[in-house]
A and B are shown apart, each in its own frame.
Chain A
Amino acid sequence: MNAIHFLKPELLWLLPIALLPFVSYGVKQFAFPGLEDWPKDFISSCLRWGVRALAALTLTVLMVAAAGPFTEGGTVTRVGEGAEIVVVLDRSGSMSEPLQNYDQSVNAKPISKIEASRKVLLKFMEERPADTFGVVAFNAAPISVAPLSADRELAKAAMLSAEANSSGFTALNRALAMGLDYFNNRPFTASRLVMLVSDGDAVIEPADRVILKNAFKQTRAKLIWVYVHAGAEKNILSSVIAGDNEFIPQAELQQIEINQNVAMNKLFEELEIPYQAFEVNSEAGLKHAVAEIARMTNKPTRYEYRLPRQDYAVYLYLLSMFLLGSLFWLKQIEIKAWKA
């Protein structure tokens, strides 16, 4: 299929060593007064060359194995229905706050927003087996956690490991830019989605808006904002964390929050890109979102699946183990002294 490459090709220069067994017999020698009437023995004469060939083969196999032969796995183009989805996951401090909880019982544990969105995203991934996922997590700076690839395990692990961590600032614009970066240098074979999972606690400077707008246009990606909805408790808590002695009416706070998010929503709409927002805080919301995304991404996807490189050293080592075993056996049955 592919040409064989070597990890350490310089070791192949040692291959002439494999001719050593042909110089020496390697088997114990005994003087004998006369062999002219020694019986002709076919098996013995076969073994005479066989033993040396075996030793030479063992050396060759060992050296080739040491050189580490492998073939590139290559890429396979697969066709599937799905989209290329970059999940841009907000892991800012606000995401660790509990989600609005309808269960008022004592035992009910509050679930943080990031935990809930993680759950939702994993479920989403399970329901979309043909999609290609990439993950960017961000708080003060975006982190490229999992590149856009067919390796779903990687994306899942990336999501599972994303923990909220407050660092005072949410670099939404840079995270989006990085998410869009994933699409660069990739053939446009499927619908492209940037899935922003955030509670909207961020602002985008006007200068960045232009850049983002251009990037979205260039990559022809759609933006979906999965808005993790917060309840009333959150507002109270946030004021406590802030250590604010001043009483701010709930309604007012909520109003500010809503205003900010509305502003963000408006901002995305202004970007002149295909944009949709979903509020996900319930099972119904998730289903709705999935159905909507499915509708958006009905275009068949051709994606390149990169096969892992094939390493042959293991097989060669196994073979040389076997050969060494047989050589060892031959050494065991070697006659140590010429007597009965």
Chain B
Amino acid sequence: MAQQPLIHYHVRWRPSGHQPGASHGLVAGTGDQLRSVVLLRDNPDPRRLDLRASLRDPFENIWVRDFNLNSALKVIVLVDTSASMGYVGKVNRMQVAQEISSQLALSAYRSGDAFGLYAANETINKQCMLPPKANRGAWLWVRHHFSKIKPQGQHADGLFSVVPYLPQKRCLVFLVSDFRWQAGKLKSLLKKLSHHDVVPVMLQDPTEFDELPKSGIAILRDAETGLGQFVWMREHLRTQIAEIRAQHIRSVNDASRMYGNKPFVVRGEFSSALLTEYFMERSA
């Protein structure tokens, strides 16, 4: 695994935790954003003495600066482990999901944020459950546990039962899946997660849409239902499939937009630089 740069995620909302971190928080504390100027008696910290405000005060009160705490985020990754996630095309989809999770775990630790992970297929996978904590070895934990996961199951409805496990306060939630879900499933899950900042991470493989075989015959077997489909690849079918894949991305886009999110589409290999770029675009 090539060393990837850290993911610099950035959120526009203020986390309310008291744990010091990298984001502008809500509570008072040590930070780089001036909150207000208060009397020394209210905030007895002479290091933050505001000389200018104190001299200007005709009543000769001593004023102290109060800052917003740079507080930590809670980064939570939800992984769909239904059978379709086991697809190995140009890239191993589960491998990509692991890469994303471990990169996020490492980045979260480096920015002092808590990292949690939940995996679910038809039911929640309780063996692979990491409650959000500042965790130095989370990325190793991810690697260790992902190798044990066997993608199976026809749907990912277990993700709904993950929701109660999530913190009540707003977190940054990455929803890693290929979103080959029934129509409306994504929308209702996003609704349940609506008090969090959700980033749908959509995994795609080039062999699914734009690197299809040009011609020939084969049988495709659905990873989830096991149904077979005889295909005779040709130009007409290729354009049809490309259109359907584009339609799929559009529908995920639309569902996310309703809850103020924008999906991050991973085509083939995961690149952390692209995810950083995504966050830069989002907060611009």
Contact = CB atoms under 8 A, between A and B. Distances in A.
Contact of B221 (A31, A41, A47, A334): A31
Contacts of A30: 218-221
Nearest to B89: A338
A28 B213 CA distance: 13
Interface stretch (A32-40, A113-121, A304-312): A32-40
Contact of A29 (B84, B88, B220): B220
A324 interface: no
B219 A27 contact: yes
A329 to B, nearest CB: 10
Contacts of B225: 35-36
Interface of B is mostly: mixed
A18 to B, nearest CB: 20
| Interface size bracket, A side | 20 to 34
| Interface size bracket, B side | 35 or more
Given A34-B84, A37-B244, A45 B230 contact: yes
A336 to B, nearest CB: 8
B188 to A, nearest CB: 18
Interface in A139-173: none
A161 B167 CA distance: 110
Interface string A307-340: 0000000000000000000000010011101111
A66 B211 CA distance: 46
B277 interface: no
B211 to A, nearest CB: 4
A326 to B, nearest CB: 12
Given A25-B228, A48-B230, A340 B215 contact: no
Contacts of B206: 340
Contact of A335 (B93, B233, B241): B233
Contacts of A47: 217, 230, 232
A333 B221 contact: no
A44 interface: yes
A211 B213 CA distance: 89
A337 B221 CA distance: 14
Interface in B184-243: 205-208, 210-225, 227-233, 237, 240-241
Contacts of B208: 32-33
Interface string A15-27: 0000000000101
A340 B232 contact: no
B60 to A, nearest CB: 72
Nearest to A39: B240
Given A33-B208, A44-B230, A44-B231, A338 B218 contact: yes
Contact of B216 (A25, A35, A41, A334): A334
Interface of B: 84-90, 93, 178, 180, 205-208, 210-225, 227-233, 237, 240-241, 244, 247-248
21 contacts: A25-B230, A29-B219, A29-B220, A34-B178, A34-B224, A35-B225, A36-B180, A36-B222, A37-B244, A38-B241, A39-B244, A44-B237, A48-B219, A333-B215, A333-B216, A333-B217, A334-B216, A338-B212, A339-B90, A340-B210, A340-B214
